[in-house]
Structure 1
Amino acid sequence: MPSVQAEVGGGWRPKQQQYPLEIREVWADNVEREFKLIRAAIERFPYVSMDTEFPGVIHHPPPSVHHSALTPPQRYALLKSNVDALHLIQVGLAFAPSASSPPALAFQVNLREFDPRLHRHAPDSVRLLAASGLDLPAHRARGVSARAFAALLMSSGLVCNPDVAWVTFASAYDMAYLVKVLMGRKLPRALPEFLRYVRVYFGNAVYDVKHMARVASAPALLGGLERVAAALRVRRAAGRSHQAASDSVLTWDTFREMARLYFPKEGSLEMCAGVLYGLELHDDDGRGTKPRAEYALLR
């Protein structure tokens, strides 16, 4: 693995990376310092992989309707009902210097708003998060407020920056929670307006690995992040599953291996840019996976 030689502001220099990659935990008492590092790192490490943790879903389609049968606007309405009702728990960010490089930095932002004693949630999801190492009492006692996180995110250079590329996996909920936090209110009513906000905050270079897998048309790449990573022989480089920073690192490594194997030609990956898996519409004649313009993140 190559060393990271670029000096970051304030004399801070990432040391030569050896897995497991260090994950920097972000709490209320160090959030200002950690975001100074993030602001300094953006110019050198403009490729960002993102994952979130949240307390499951509480609204579902009718029992007679499978989720796959929903149209994108119906899926968005369901997503909105869940995101508007629930609280974000954790955000993971992994940074890399180029699209083919391993991650150099990883941060895990722990938020404080969610309290399972007071707020609605899916009990099985919260138990899974706790079993995976999330310390929810510590989140309530030491976590970053959503308002402070939004302000720091807006001033970090991460959002509203066309030079930053974002990588996600099945990212509709991840993006929706960040849009809600950044807006400071409930999500927009309609899907096209939501996607316009995604484009404003995150730009055009958004790559959803789940969508990439579908474009690649490889049967082995079906399923969730763990399964797709295993099919590509990508190992988890740091942390544990169901923790946001660890999953963001695994998402990045899965992305670059998938890009290497299935999108090797220059420019071939661009056909995947700007689409959130599950929130796109197919052409009216049913051919391919090209989203109609008003539902893509317009390029």
Structure 2
Amino acid sequence: MAAEDDVRQVWASNFNAEMPRLIEALRRAPYAAIDAEFPGFIVHTPRDADGHQRYSDLRENVERLKILQLGFSCFGPGWPRRLTWQINFSDFDESLPSDERWEESVELLRREGVDFAKTRRDGVDSALVSSFLRPFFLSPMQRKPLWVTFHGAYDVAYLAKLLLARAPLPIALPDFTRLLGNMLGRVVDVKHLARHVRGAHLGLRRLGESLGLANTSAHQAGAQSLLAGNIFEVLMMRLPPARLVCRGDESDVGILHGLEEERIAPPLPPTWEQSQRFLLPGNPSPFYSAPVFHPQAFPYAWPCREDSGAFFVYVQPFAPPW
């Protein structure tokens, strides 16, 4: 298993060097674990709340609080080593009372090694990160990995909020999961999977220990995504394959722990009438050999030669679902 020291820290000083490497890894990785760190909760959800109430509280928290860190850990069959990045954001200013937080969470992160002064001074502005990530996540023709989370509703919500820039998250849970399907595609929540090994009541570290993984990870986004990916690999060897296919009654893909009422599903290929048509420039032959049009990896684009002799590509455009 990869060590915590393998986490590549992304700051303003190395942003332009590290982000292209991260995007290239996400393009190629079979799996990518994600984790977000943020300054706690303003609204606390009752334990007996249903998924719709949980999402309403989640939405208010994400809209009011600022993201601190975002971790990505890329891995899968054929990868000799795991590649992990932690993006450190500069948006949160601990000295400003207007930057809301839950003090217990801030103290926990400080004990786990988060230097808030350094993050504010040397971190990356979220608007810059958003502008870099949006072309990858919002392209309907982009192949994406299977996203791995642990208790991941807040993780994917902060990622969605980052990609939406200043636009608010959808008000209703069904619209939120539809948005995630467009942005991410396939998502699996390790905490939801853990119920098959009697571990649904455990936190990330305790679950890792119960599966024989060493407890060496700090409570920071890079290390947490690394550990979530390690746990997912162990569970993959113990669970039947039907649990990890996209669709089907036995599938656990698309179900977030705590928001089980609505499943995240990748968008279906559009009908011919729903597609948009774009003229292919120049000699179209390279488009046929390029992997972007492989029917399994990219089911939303079709190169086509019409009777006039002109070549077009039909694609499904990305648009928010509300």
> Aligning the two structures, in what range does the TM-score lie when normalised by the shorter sequence?
0.7 to 0.9
Q: How does 1:146-157 map to 2 (within 5 A)?
A: 146-156=126-136
The number of residues matched between the two structures is 257
| Structure 1 counterpart of 2:32 | 48
Superposed CA offset, 1:217-271 (max 9, x none): x33452210111111111246xx4211100100000011101212x1x3333221
SS in 2 for 1:272: coil
Instruction: Assess if the C-alpha contact under 8 Å between 1:115 and 1:140 holds in 2.
Output: yes
Report the CA distance shift for 1:20/1:102 in structure 2 as closer, same or farther (over 3 A).
farther
Q: Which runs of 5+ in 2 are unaligned?
A: 246-250, 267-322
| Structure 2 counterpart of 1:289 | none
Instruction: Assess if the C-alpha contact under 8 Å between 1:103 and 1:249 holds in 2.
Output: no
Structure of higher CA gyration radius: 2
State the TM-score, normalizing by the size of structure 2: 0.74
Q: How does 1:1-299 map to 2 (within 5 A)?
A: 19=3, 21-61=5-45, 66-67=46-47, 69-98=48-77, 104-118=82-96, 119-156=99-136, 161-184=142-165, 185-203=167-185, 205-214=186-195, 216=196, 218-236=197-215, 240-261=217-238, 263=239, 265-270=240-245, 271-281=251-261, 295-298=262-265
| Structure 2 counterpart of 1:6 | none
Report the CA distance shift for 1:257/1:149 in structure 2 as closer, same or farther (over 3 A).
same
Q: Which runs of 5+ in 1 are unaligned?
A: 2-17, 282-294
Instruction: Assess if the C-alpha contact under 8 Å between 2:144 and 2:184 holds in 1.
Output: no
SS in 1 for 2:259: coil
Report deviation, 1:103.
Answer: 5.1
Instruction: Assess if the C-alpha contact under 8 Å between 1:44 and 1:97 holds in 2.
Output: no
State the TM-score, normalizing by the size of structure 1: 0.80
Instruction: Assess if the C-alpha contact under 8 Å between 1:129 and 1:242 holds in 2.
Output: yes
Structure 2 counterpart of 1:252, one-letter code: G
Percent identity reads 34
Instruction: Assess if the C-alpha contact under 8 Å between 2:209 and 2:215 holds in 1.
Output: no
Report the CA distance shift for 1:167/1:103 in structure 2 as closer, same or farther (over 3 A).
farther
Report the CA distance shift for 1:105/1:159 in structure 2 as closer, same or farther (over 3 A).
farther
SS in 1 for 2:183: helix
Instruction: Assess if the C-alpha contact under 8 Å between 1:167 and 1:209 holds in 2.
Output: yes
Superposed CA offset, 1:39-73 (max 9, x none): 33234323100011100001124xxxx32x11111
